[in-house]
């Protein structure tokens, strides 16, 4: 079994805005593209042109319908590793391959120690782990650990690939352990939530809920339109307006 650090200096993670996500898959393929040549390369695709295609993806977007009395809505839901504070995927790992970094809180896998037992993927209730059958090791979101500190990238590009790509600006990145950080402030102002908090793994990533059917929804306090009054009706109104 693998131990968790008693404390992490930072809690780096993502904030994902479900109010704005249109389900375009931009983050999904940007992630695939960066990471298939990145730290855990490759993100193998089995039978890529056939009937049993099955690839490794660190980030997937699902669409759900949610129907309530107030009406239905479609929610596009990007899903990736939440970099939990107390992740069972780490504690369950028999070899220490799965670990949580004490410095920034990123949950990573040391491939050289992974025996492919898949206990971690059974332990993760979020389905965030992806087994590469070709290599025989587990893979997962690295929070682009090879981008966010990368001296070979321009400083402005040192953010996760999914955050850089997102066309609707629905993805955010930062230190969620620092209440003064921009991401923490965003979560506070928008009522960001944990996924399945009852599981007790304390996800670092947060989701901002859709505004539809909430007090945040844009409303236009428009009075009902009434026909123009007085003589001549609308055409009379036009004439009066023009002669003013």
By the rule CB under 8 A, 69 interacts with another protein: no
Number of residues engaging another protein in binding (CB under 8 A): 112
Q: How far is CA 238 from CA 1, 225, 244, in A?
A: 81, 17, 10
Q: How many residues does the chain have?
A: 244
Question: By CB under 8 A, is residue 222 in contact with another protein?
Answer: yes
Q: Show contacts with another protein in window 140-179 (CB under 8 A).
A: 145-146, 148-153, 155-159, 161, 163-175
HSE, side-chain direction, 13 A CA sphere, residue 66: 13
Instruction: Spell out the residues 6+ positions from residue 242 whose beta carbon is closer than 8 angstroms to its own.
Output: none
Residue nearer to another protein on the CB measure, 150 or 199: 150
Binders of another protein among residues 77 to 96 (CB under 8 A) are none
CB of 115 to another protein, least distance (A): 18
Whichever of 93 and 165 has its CB closer to another protein, that residue is: 165
Report 112-131 residues binding another protein (CB under 8 A). none
Nearest approach, Cβ of residue 199 and another protein (Å): 26
β-pairing verdict for 54-55 and 107-109: unpaired
Q: Is 84 exposed, middle or buried (0-12, 13-18, 19+ CB in 10 A)?
A: buried
Range 180-209, binding another protein (CB under 8 A): 181-183, 185-186
């Amino acid at each position: 079994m693998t131990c968790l650090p008693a404390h992490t200096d930072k809690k780096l993670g993502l904030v994902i805005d479900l109010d704005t996500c249109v389900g375009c898959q931009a983050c999904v393929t940007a992630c695939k593209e960066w990471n298939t040549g990145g730290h855990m390369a490759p993100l193998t695709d089995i039978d890529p042109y056939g009937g049993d295609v099955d690839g490794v993806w660190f980030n997937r977007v699902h669409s759900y319908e949610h129907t309530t009395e107030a009406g239905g809505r479609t929610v596009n839901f990007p899903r990736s590793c939440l970099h939990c504070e107390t992740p069972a995927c780490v504690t369950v790992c028999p070899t220490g391959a799965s670990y949580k970094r004490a410095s920034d809180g990123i949950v990573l896998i040391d491939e050289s120690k992974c025996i492919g037992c898949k206990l971690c993927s059974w332990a993760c209730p979020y389905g965030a782990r992806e087994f590469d059958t070709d290599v025989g090791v587990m893979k997962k979101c690295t929070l682009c650990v090879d981008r966010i500190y990368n001296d070979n990238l321009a400083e402005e590009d040192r953010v996760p690939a999914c955050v850089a790509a997102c066309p609707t600006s629905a993805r955010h990145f930062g230190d969620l352990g620092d209440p003064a950080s921009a991401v923490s402030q965003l979560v506070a102002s928008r009522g960001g939530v944990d996924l399945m908090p009852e599981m007790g793994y304390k996800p670092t990533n947060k989701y901002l809920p859709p505004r539809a059917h909430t007090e945040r929804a844009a409303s236009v306090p428009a009075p009902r339109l009434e026909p123009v009054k007085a003589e001549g009706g609308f055409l009379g109104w036009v004439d009066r307006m023009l002669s003013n």
